[in-house]
Amino acid sequence: MEKTLNLKTVEKCCTSSLIRDEADIAIKALKHEYARKLALFEFETMSGGREIGESADKTLRDWSMSTRNKRQFFVLCTIATMHNHYKPTSELLKLLGISRAALDTMIADCEAEGWINVKRNKQGHRRVQATEIAVQTWFEYSNWIKEKSFDYKFHHLHASIVAMREILESK
């Protein structure tokens, strides 16, 4: 049996291929723009361009942004408070991958500043969580991030990438 191609079949095939090629180009351009804006966004978050709100603590922000370990410690303490529990220091040591001496210093610094609550059991084991001022500082930072992400229109770029992928999958 001989196959014959009619004009409609050829046109459909070529159009489908062209749409795929154009969608691929568009996705690459959107991903590039997302990466470019993310780099600008990251630089803005790292350079401290954010105004500190009334209840947020500038000293806490500066302390928690000074090293990766301090930032992670602060975030873990904040998560513990948001989950309404205390984080054992043994877990913090594993999660942070730091020495006990480094953790002890962070705990002592933060407890003295009033940024964390420390509970000790009968054996002297400690558990920590962020205080109200630390959580409020995080909430204000979170709100600033939300607003900045809208300013950079990440949601539009993401939605466009998803729409282009759907076009590709439907063809």
Q: Is residue 130 part of a domain?
A: yes
HEC secondary structure over 51-67: CCCCCCCHHHHHHHHCC
User: Sign of the CA dihedral 126, 117, 64, 81?
Assistant: positive
Encode pLDDT of 60-117 as tens digits: 988 998 999 999 999 999 999 999 999 999 999 999 999 999 999 999 999 999 999 9
Query: 10 Å Cβ neighbour count for 4?
Result: 6
Q: Is residue 2 part of a domain?
A: no
Nearest to 171 by CA among 33, 30, 21, 44: 21
Same domain, 128 and 103: yes
Q: Is residue 147 part of a domain?
A: no
Cα 3 from Cα 105, distance rounded (Å): 79
Same domain, 130 and 89: yes
CATH number of the CATH domain containing 112 = 1.10.10.10
Same domain, 133 and 66: yes
Least confident stretch, 30-44, 75-89, 116-130:
30-44
- Mean pLDDT of the chain, nearest integer: 86
User: Sign of the CA dihedral 48, 52, 58, 63?
Assistant: negative
Most confident listed range (24-33, 51-60, 84-93, 138-147): 84-93
Domain of residue 160, residue span: 7-49+153-170
Q: Is residue 145 part of a domain?
A: no
Q: Is residue 144 part of a domain?
A: no
**Are 56 and 62 within 8 A, CB to CB?**
no
Residue position matching structure tokens 């939300």: 146
Same domain, 125 and 78: yes
What's the structural domain count of the chain?
2
Same domain, 134 and 62: yes
Same domain, 83 and 106: yes
- For 136, the 3-state DSSP assignment is helix
Same domain, 133 and 159: no
pLDDT band at 6 (very low <50, low <70, confident <90, very high): low
Tell me: pLDDT of 158 over 80: yes
Same domain, 87 and 158: no
The pLDDT, as a whole number, for residue 10 is 46
Average pLDDT over residues 157-166: 86
Q: Is residue 44 part of a domain?
A: yes
